[in-house]
Structure 1
Amino acid sequence: MNNNAAFLPDNYLLTGASGVLGGRILTELLTTTSAKIYCMSREKDLDNARSRILEMVDMYDSDSKVGDQLSRISVVYGDIGKDLLGLNSDDYATLASQAQVVIHCAAKLSLIAEYPSLREENVAGTERVAKLCMEANIPLLYTSSFSVVGSKLYESGFVLKEDKVDYGQCFDDMGYEQTKFESEVMLNELSQKGLQVAIVRPGNIWGDSQNGRYPLSGTTVKGIYYEMIRALVETGYTFHSTDDFDITPVDYVAKASLAVVKNIHTVQGQTFNLVNPNPPTYNAIVDLLREYGYEVRNVPCDDYFQALHEDRMLLNGKPYHSSFTDILALVSDEDDLSEQAKYDTSRIQALLKETDIRCPKLDIKLMTTLLDHCVASGLIKSPADQHPLAEISEEITAKVFMEHLYDA
């Protein structure tokens, strides 16, 4: 095999096709290749699994470009949480023979669950997928996360390089992040034993840069930054922060991931940070919200966080709560926990240099595209319908924050 030739498989095995990134990668494969895509699902009702996967494709495919390509999708059973992926030996061998490359996006995602409840699926499951690839002698693209930075997130001057994962970082109360870290370490060890693997680390995935599409309806977890937008619009309050807020459109992550697959024979063993090389600051995001037409009032940081902590930010006479404000209220009494880490993207930018794949900067054009979809999906009201806004009361209400957070 010519290792310099582009790798263009006829058959892909994709896990997590009903997820935010997996669904966009599937849509990209249908748009840009003629390959057959085996989508692995742990749901034994494969017809229902197919329906959920096709709903994700339809959501991303705003121009109906791939409607006549859906026959190339084949949904197959497989559970990464079980030995042999929940299959008998014959079916396992059949699955191993069907694909020429595996793109592993499936994971149990929870930012509050503890590590033991996530390890079996996220770490042991990844090891099972890697074992399948080694036995079939096919390459693996593993979707990790830039959150492997762990506690280094708050260290001034820290840069997460693309050629290193272990910096001695801690993962206290970061169960999901720890599973991604351990999976990377495990895969790097297996690469020394013959596994053909490349790793990508997406940042905070936002909607498609061309149409804003993102699964905001029908999901309980919309992504913390979408919850941030919702809280800013609903309360009309903000605070000053110059922290970087990574915004990485999902189409960039999908296209960059497939570019890595295309070059996997020359980049095997390597890791790529798929984050925005030009992240906006929190203040810049707020300014773009204002430019779009929303009223967002500045409050001194201490006043903002104290109002959250004491349940004094009221909307329609009731204390305002959202995933974003609840997290802020939890850390309001802590020492400085501003995000300081930076992320090196030189390796992925070098790989993409001869392509037209670029991560777009967040400007008013992109923000308008993203917000238009948020409004159309019902996540937020339009600027014309934004009122009433929240008010900060001088009276401290009965403190029920922890009970509320527990219920949530």
Structure 2
Amino acid sequence: MSLEELLAELRDLGGNLSLGAGGKLNLDIPVGVLTEELKEYLRFYKDDLVELLTPKAVDESLSSWEEDSVLPGSFKFSPPRRSHDLKVVLLTGATGFLGKYLLFELLSQTKCHVYCLVRSGGGDSPLDRLITGLKEEKLWQEEFARRVKVIESDLSQSRLGLTTPEYESLAEEIDLILHNGARVHHGLPYHSLRATNVIGTQQLLEVAAAQGKPFHYVSSLSVLPAMTSAGGERFLEMDSVEETPAPKGGYNLTKWVGERLMEQAAEKGGEIVVYRPGPISGHSETGTYNEEDFLIRLVQGYAAIGLAPEGETALDVLPVDYVAKVIIWLAMRNSLRSKTLRRYHLLHPEPVSSELLFEACARAGVAIERVPYSQWHDQLSRIVQKEERDHPLYAIAGLFSSREEEGVVNDDFSLEIPYDDQAAQAALKEAPFKRSKLDGALFDRYLEAMKLKGGILE
């Protein structure tokens, strides 16, 4: 159960969450309706709920992102210790949307055993949660069981929440780290995401450095300036994030800091590969989607209020199944090289107009009126002012500003994207799979999946 699903369940049961003295989490709910399962999820998401209910304030005593983006002077990679055959891959974030598909591709494309670091909580064991998640996506195969090892862990804790013997044996047994795990929340500030997204990354780098193991980091194109603000500039895969301004938004900033750590780790002898995926959409065939995805929330929000801003936007989404195939394909072919830092931009090189998405909405019977941006933004502001936390747009409202504030206009619509992906395309020439086409049929599948799941109503 996701955090949003928990909030919706509590709302349907007549529950009301609030913060009491000292930051105590209070729940006012009718007697007899709170099940043991819901109590377990409340304990699991306690920190997230407190964060959502706490008025945001800047704590100047917190470690700054500038300090976090520098590895200790004593950090160094040991000489590589590996054979020519990868046997064990350490994967983080395997219970997340992309992570499930990465695990599936690792087990399908390779003969490797996969160690998965999984956080405890939610009532089920980490192994049960992992298997249930893959079954929900129709990815689980019983023969996978003998090659998957789940290790109860927490990226936000010292030594990843492991005992000293567990921590040391982990570094000895694995042959490669694929770090995909992160706390994803576009509405939270940097310091709220720092422990998992930055400190966790630092600790995993230390695991890799101890035995000279390759480190593959799933970052995001959001570490670079957005398409709307890039102007005529083009960003190459070889470009360092140090050459670009730190991005806005806590989550994006944690990824930017993570990339700075990767660059320094490579300078200190590490074999580092960075993947920068752009927007990740649902499955190309089933339409299965991530409920936390920005585009999904946006469409659900448009449908909920029946309004969307006028104008066109370039959509360069890549289906999750394709992104996972690409990352594992590249990882397996980069794992036996001793070159320096390599980066890959993963995006659709042939973006389409957002009009295709609105046409799909119309075919699905979802009525959305196109209005001036200012009118739509006023409606968004009211959602925030009323604290409609269960509204699809609430969690992403902070990513939008009034165009009067930013001077944003959309008169110069273009399908040209400023991110170069020549290295990725060159490496994928021999890949046995093809990229999905962005067309009306794909968006139709996404709309149908949302309707079936109750994500949107006609």
Q: TM-score range by the shorter chain?
A: 0.7 to 0.9
Which amino acid counterpart does residue 248 of structure 1 have in structure 2? L
Distance of 1:104 and 1:172 partners within structure 2: 21
Which secondary structure does the structure 1 equivalent of 2:216 belong to?
strand
Task: State the match for 1:212 in structure 2.
Answer: 287
Task: State the match for 2:100 in structure 1.
Answer: 23
Shift of 1:180: 0.9
Q: What TM-score results when the alignment is normalised by the length of structure 2?
A: 0.72
Shift of 1:45: 9.3
Superposed, 1:275-286 pairs within 5 Å as 275-286=347-358
Distance of 1:76 and 1:325 partners within structure 2: 32
1:322 corresponds to 2:393: yes
Shift of 1:310: 5.9
Given the alignment, which residue of 434, 449, 455 partners 1:373?
A: 449
1:84/1:92 contact within 8 Å kept: yes
1:305 corresponds to 2:380: no
Q: Which moved more, 1:342-351 or 1:267-276?
A: 267-276
Superposed, 1:61-76 pairs within 5 Å as 61=138, 66-76=141-151
Shift of 1:102: 1.0
Given the alignment, which residue of 230, 235, 253 partners 2:305?
A: 235
2:380/2:393 contact within 8 Å kept: no
Shift of 1:327: 4.5
Distance of 1:252 and 1:270 partners within structure 2: 20
Which secondary structure does the structure 2 equivalent of 1:103 belong to?
strand
1:198/1:260 contact within 8 Å kept: no
Distance of 2:399 and 2:176 partners within structure 1: 41
1:148 corresponds to 2:223: yes
Q: Which moved more, 1:337-346 or 1:280-289?
A: 337-346
1:111 corresponds to 2:186: yes
Given the alignment, which residue of 106, 109, 122 partners 2:197?
A: 122
More relative contact order, 1 or 2 (CA 8 Å, 6+ apart) = 1
1:51 corresponds to 2:128: yes
Question: Mind listing any 5+ residue stretches in structure 1 that lack a counterpart?
Answer: 1-5, 217-221, 312-319, 387-408
Which amino acid counterpart does residue 105 of structure 1 have in structure 2? N
Shift of 1:37: 1.1
1:243/1:338 contact within 8 Å kept: no
Which amino acid counterpart does residue 120 of structure 2 have in structure 1? E
1:244/1:281 contact within 8 Å kept: yes
**What are the superposed Cα offsets for residues 153-187 of structure 1, whole Å, 9 maximum, x if unpaired?**
52322323211133654446422111111111111
Q: CA RMSD in A?
A: 3.1
Distance of 2:233 and 2:422 partners within structure 1: 16
- Identity over aligned residues, as a percent? 25
Task: State the match for 1:389 in structure 2.
Answer: none
Which secondary structure does the structure 1 equivalent of 2:435 belong to?
coil
Q: Which moved more, 1:299-308 or 1:102-111?
A: 299-308
**What are the superposed Cα offsets for residues 116-166 of structure 1, whole Å, 9 maximum, x if unpaired?**
222232222212111111212221110101110147752322323211133
**What are the superposed Cα offsets for residues 193-218 of structure 1, whole Å, 9 maximum, x if unpaired?**
121110001111111112122343xx
**What are the superposed Cα offsets for residues 248-299 of structure 1, whole Å, 9 maximum, x if unpaired?**
2111111111112111134651001112222223233212322444333322
Which secondary structure does the structure 2 equivalent of 1:157 belong to?
coil
Task: State the match for 1:290 in structure 2.
Answer: 362
Shift of 1:32: 2.8
1:361 corresponds to 2:437: yes
Which secondary structure does the structure 2 equivalent of 1:284 belong to?
helix
Count of residue pairs brought into register by the alignment? 365
